[in-house]
């Protein structure tokens, strides 16, 4: 019986050639990392990515031109909070939850990030060095649209509604007419102007300004009928946390359009799901 010749296996760890050693030892530009330094950078970026993914509650948004046709129904939303002030100088006015905020668009990202301005906290706000904050108010709503995702349909989702001065004044007017906002339903639409409010520029009250009671809201939506905890729903980061995230004028690329008087921009209707809308640069 003929025996096959035994083939010597190659050394699984061949010795580095002189050329390889020379390549390893030569100076490299600062932007290139290798070996331990490369893995350390990878861990650092993973940590930053995890921190950036925690940007508070999903926000209400509608696309440019959505439901602005007379033959098309717009998204319907139900307000969960917004009572009137019962005493003091502003008695009868809408009880607003307000704050100052920055909208920052990371380089290459369609979706902006939102950070609470630190100017009211006693800390120096590093974002103010390259971006102008805007004044905003927050509300809790139920968005009655059905949003299709890879994990199934999402319907009657509780969302964060963040508005600037224009929509703030409009909702204040409706609140004084109806005795508050909680329980009011609106049909919302948005014009073709890319600079129109991302939360819609036309809010039409439904049910003749009749407000649902808290019991009716709870029966319809269960635990989602409770307004959001805004301390958790909004993205507050200390100056140290912002530095750890690398959020600065150079890192963040400055603010996107939207820090003027037009209503505030906010994240897309399916942000956090599968296919964020492509007209994010518009303003709210």
pTM of structure = 0.72
255 pLDDT above the threshold of 60:
no
How does pLDDT run across 2-43, given as a tens digit for each residue?
A: 545 555 555 555 555 555 555 556 666 777 777 787 787 777
pLDDT at 65: 84
Residue 101 pLDDT level (bands cut at 50, 70, 90): very high
Is residue 7 situated within a structural domain?
no
Q: How many domains does the chain have?
A: 1
Is residue 137 situated within a structural domain?
yes
Is residue 281 situated within a structural domain?
no
Higher pLDDT residue, 218 or 29? 218
Distance, CA of 40 to CA of 190 (rounded, Å): 46
Range of the domain at 92: 74-252
pLDDT at 279: 34
For residue 243, the domain's CATH number is 3.90.198
Q: Kind and range of the H or E element at 147?
A: strand 134-149
pLDDT at 258: 32
Is residue 182 situated within a structural domain?
yes
pLDDT at 32: 78
Is residue 3 situated within a structural domain?
no
- Which of 54-58, 93-97, 143-147, 189-193 is predicted least confidently? 54-58
Q: In the chain, which residue ranges form alpha helices assigned H by DSSP?
A: 18-25, 36-52, 165-178, 214-221, 230-233, 239-245, 249-252
Is residue 27 situated within a structural domain?
no
Mean of the pLDDT values across residues 179-202?
93
Is residue 120 situated within a structural domain?
yes
- Which of 116-130, 162-176, 228-242, 270-284 is predicted least confidently? 270-284
171, 177 contact by CB (below 8 A): no
Is residue 228 situated within a structural domain?
yes
Three-class DSSP category at 10: coil
């Amino acid at each position: 019986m003929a025996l096959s010749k035994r083939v010597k296996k190659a050394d699984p760890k061949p010795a580095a050639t002189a050329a390889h050693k020379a390549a390893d030892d030569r100076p490299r530009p600062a932007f290139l990392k290798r070996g331990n330094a490369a893995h350390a950078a990878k861990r650092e970026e993973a940590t930053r990515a995890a921190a950036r993914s925690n940007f508070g509650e999903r926000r209400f948004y509608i696309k440019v031109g959505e439901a602005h046709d007379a033959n098309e129904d717009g998204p319907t939303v139900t307000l969960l909070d917004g009572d009137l002030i019962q005493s003091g100088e502003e008695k009868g006015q809408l009880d607003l939850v307000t704050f100052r905020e920055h909208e920052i668009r990371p380089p290459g990202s369609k979706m902006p990030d939102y950070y609470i301005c630190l100017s009211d906290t006693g800390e120096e706000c590093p974002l103010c060095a390259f971006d102008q904050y805007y004044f905003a108010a927050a509300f809790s709503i139920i968005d009655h649209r059905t949003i299709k995702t890879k994990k199934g349909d999402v319907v009657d989702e509780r969302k964060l509604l963040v508005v600037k001065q224009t929509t703030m004044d409009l909702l204040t007017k409706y609140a004084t007419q109806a005795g508050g906002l909680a329980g009011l339903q609106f049909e919302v639409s948005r014009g073709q102007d890319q600079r129109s409010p991302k939360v819609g520029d036309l809010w039409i009250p439904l049910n003749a300004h009749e407000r649902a009671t808290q019991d009716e809201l709870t029966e319809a939506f269960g635990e989602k009928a409770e307004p959001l905890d805004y301390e958790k729903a909004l993205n507050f980061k200390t100056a140290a946390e912002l530095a750890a995230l690398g959020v600065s004028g150079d890192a963040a690329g400055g603010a996107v359009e939207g820090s003027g008087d037009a209503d505030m921009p906010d994240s897309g209707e399916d942000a956090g799901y599968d296919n964020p809308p492509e007209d994010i640069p518009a303003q709210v």
